[in-house]
Amino acid sequence: MTRVGQAAAKGAAVAWVRNTVDEAIEAWTRLRAAGVDAALFHARFAMGDRLAIEQEVLDRFGRDAPPERRSGSVLVATQVVEQSLDLDFDFMVSDLAPADLLVQRAGRLWRHLDLRPGTSRPCPRPELLLFAPDPAAEVDAKWVTRLSGGTSAVYQDDLLLWRSAKALLAKGELAVPEALRDLIEWVYRPETDDADPQALHRSHAEAGGKQAAERSFADHNLLKVAGGYSRNDQPWQDETSIATRLGEESRILRLARWQDGRLQPWHEHPNPDQAWALSELTVRGNQAQEAAPDPEVPPALLQAARDGWGRYEADRLLVPLHPGEQGGWHGRLLDTRSNLREIRYDRASGLQWWQGA
């Protein structure tokens, strides 16, 4: 965090990339408490808010951002900045990730050498500071989780993470594109050898087994194009069930405001269908099985809202939000074990699993 504040104080455009939304919110909160005016961008915003933040990020860090907007600006983000958005930073801090993804993140450093005529970089060179445990230290099975359980949960193969840190920190620099092939081939080699820590072999084997199972499942569900549109020997399953079974289950929430006896979509739009679509966000399936009963909102109003949705929107969870005493809006969900989960939502930080004041 200190390096982020120091770089911003020198006028650098800074990115701090975290691997989970909760870690991003925590880092953003700490920066703001330290007086650093940072922005936050992740995937747990309602779509309407996310689009507005995305435009703000482009206005600050895009190719055509004016120098006065870039100077000293800080963005805390998750993997949403790895691809698609054309962003340019002077300095970056990143959580440990597989080497190819770190290359993607590093591609946002000094992306446009010709920012604007007459401007110069506040840093002497593009620099990526890697937040990772030391690959040269003694390695045990908790080498990654001890520093960041979120990183291990997201990428699962701790040996792949160790190899990535080992290769990048040994080089001390990333030469693009000439060094990429050797880097990726060494990190992703399928076999283990004496250079790999024995304590991480099990994680690597489990990740490989999971990938093989998913590949087999995908092959089984391939549609044989040569056979035409026939149900004979064709796996014509519901497309949603195939897609979600290959990855972690997710649920789409539709946020609604409950205030002054009215229930309305979180995002305002003259077209009700658009308003509801822009009020959506996605969470992990085990966190949200159904909306919790809300004694303040008449069931008839909840049903009336759902009656206006289309047939393909029937699986959305409608979550009424109430204004909180200390800011933000609060709602409730039931997880897959029927445990009550409280959420807090606002436009600045997005959705948080609320633990109280």
| pLDDT tens figures, 106-146 | 999 998 866 665 567 888 889 999 999 999 999 999 999 99
* Burial classification of residue 276, based on how many CB atoms lie within 10 Å of its CB (0-12 exposed, 13-18 middle, 19 or more buried): buried
Q: How far is the C-alpha of 317 from the C-alpha of 119, rounded, in Å?
A: 49
Residue 206 pLDDT: 82
Strands 74-77 and 38-41: parallel
Q: How confident is the model at residue 247 (pLDDT cuts 50, 70, 90)?
A: low
Which pLDDT band holds residue 7 (cuts at 50, 70, 90)? very high
Residue-wise pLDDT tens digits, 154-191: 998 999 999 999 999 888 888 778 889 999 999 999 88
Structure-model confidence comparison of residues 89 and 240, the more confident one: 89
Structure confidence at residue 356 (pLDDT): 52
- Average pLDDT, whole number, for the chain? 88
Q: 54-66: per-residue pLDDT in tens?
A: 999 999 999 888 8
Task: Using pLDDT thresholds of 50, 70 and 90, give the confidence band for residue 20.
Answer: very high
Q: How far apart are CA 342 and CA 325, in angstroms?
A: 15
Interior CA angle at 214 toward 184 and 250, to 5°? Answer: 100
Residue 55: how many CB atoms within 10 A of its CB?
Answer: 11
177 prior amide bond cis, ω within 30: yes
Measured CA to CA, the distance from residue 60 to residue 87 in angstroms comes to: 9
pLDDT at 275 (0 to 100)? 97
CA-to-CA distance for 336 and 187, rounded, in angstroms? 37
Query: For the ranges 79-83, 156-160, 175-179, 329-333, which has the lowest average pLDDT?
Result: 175-179
Band the pLDDT of 334: cuts 50, 70, 90.
very high
The H or E element that residue 170 is part of is helix 158-171
